[in-house]
Amino acid sequence: MTPAARIQAAIEILDQIVAGEPAEKALTSWARSARYAGSKDRAAIRDHVFDVLRQKLSCAAIGGGLNGRALMIGSLIQAGTDLDSVFTGEGHAPSPLADDERADAPALGLAEIWDIPEWLLPLWQSSLGDKAAEVAEIQRHRAPVFLRANLRRATTEEAIMALAAHEITAQTHPLSPSAIEVTGNARRIKQAPAYLTGEVELQDAASQALVDALPLADAGKVLDYCAGGGGKTLAMAALSSATMYAHDANPRRMKDLPDRAERAGIAVRLLKTNELKETGPFDLVLCDAPCSGSGSWRRAPEGKWRLTPEVLDEVTGIQAQILEDAAPLVVAGGALAYATCSVLSVENQDQIAAFLSARPDWTLETERSFTPLDGGDGFFVAVLRKS
């Protein structure tokens, strides 16, 4: 496919997304119907789509509308692309620009400059303070690709050398001793022997740093209460000799965890909800709670536009209930760790303050916030100690 044909394909996919289709589903449906497209074509089209989704407000304002063509025009203008070289109508390229599509872009408001929903601006600013503008700007662009070295299998340096043998270039990252930032040929990772044999796992650097902050050294029994795919379960196990347990309210989210654990050489027992009390109490319970995802909007930009005040209220209610349900599973003297991939105070510091205000037998041991300015995603983690 020519570069212009790729842009036309992205326009068609964006039209489906604007109509309500999830981005991944729209991309998959297009790829299945376009058998002629090679892997490089699919990757380039995906990049166009996600570049737009990260900057949807500004693209719509600059491009003059909320449809695939206008959004793509807005994205290309911001990238400094000569539109007439793309919108030629030749072959499978987009049709030539109309006169109204050449109009000067209007002045942008703060929400459009930051590409943050208008309703969220006050909370964004109060949560991030003088970092609000910088974090908003970095969320408008692609995230780095990070790996976690499985320190049970290899040192970080050995993992980097193994990746290099598969022509994947990488370097260490200061956020965590196990963090590896991929600098070249990232799309080869899942075919690399180092990945297939469990020497490395895909995991954000700040997510790894969060695990580094947990009190694992003296923990005999550790529960990942909201395990999901199990990335933090495996990261904790790689740093500890504890007996590892994983649970999720939706067990289907953990379906790949047994295979991932076997590949990594780690033993993890999956628990159903009705098995938690009889298996516990636990020395450490990690609650990596469902959240707005505002710290990871570089990777999942749709979440930025799907978030509403009502959804945020629902999510914070779920977070409070998770803390309520998990607290009794901690042994006396043990620790409850609460984490989100959010940068919003209502999901982080406010949740911890509310939990502690109702429980004098708990104390805050440590608390740390990460933003994308640190290199990885935005995360929050607090460790609470039960007396």
End-to-end CA distance of the chain: 64
Long-range contacts of 119-125 (CB under 8 A, 24+ apart): 119/308, 119/309, 120/307, 123/344, 123/345, 123/346, 124/344
Report in angstroms the alpha-carbon separations of 346 from 105, 108, 188, 351: 35, 28, 39, 7
Provide block-wise average pLDDT over 10 residues at a time, the chain (387 residues).
95 96 95 89 95 98 96 96 95 93 89 98 98 98 96 94 96 97 95 94 96 94 96 94 96 94 93 95 97 97 96 98 98 98 98 97 97 97 97
Phi, psi of 105 (to 5 degrees): -70, 145
pLDDT of residue 311: 98
Q: In terms of C-beta distances under 8 Å and separation of at least 24 residues, what long-range contacts does 363-372 make, across chains too?
A: 363/387, 365/215, 365/335, 366/213, 368/210, 368/213, 369/343, 370/175, 370/206, 370/209, 370/210, 370/295, 371/128, 371/131, 371/135, 371/295, 371/343, 372/135, 372/138, 372/139, 372/143, 372/295, 372/298
Residue type, 239: L
Instruction: Please compute Rg for the chain using Cα positions.
Output: 23
The pLDDT, as a whole number, for residue 105 is: 81
Residue entry with tokens 């491009």: 63
Alpha-carbon gap, residue 124 to 21, rounded angstroms? 27
Query: According to the model, what pLDDT value does residue 220 have?
Result: 94
Nearest to 248 by CA among 282, 272, 278: 272
- If 0-12 CB within 10 Å is exposed, 13-18 middle and 19+ buried, where does residue 120 land? buried
Query: Are the C-beta atoms of 247 and 270 separated by less than 8 Å?
Result: yes
Residue 106: the pLDDT is: 87
Indicate the pairing of strand 282-288 with strand 243-247: unpaired
Counting every residue written for the chain, the total comes to 387
From CA 387, how far away is CA 370, in angstroms rounded? 28
Residue pointed to by tokens 């999510």: 315
Query: Would you state the pLDDT for residue 103?
Result: 82
pTM above 0.85, yes or no: yes
DSSP 91: T
The one-letter amino acid code at 318 reads: I
Determine contact, residues 331/386, Cβ cutoff 8 Å.
yes
∠ at Cα 173 (172, 176), nearest 5°?
Answer: 110
Q: For residue 273, how many C-alpha atoms fall within 13 Å in the half-sphere facing its CB?
A: 8
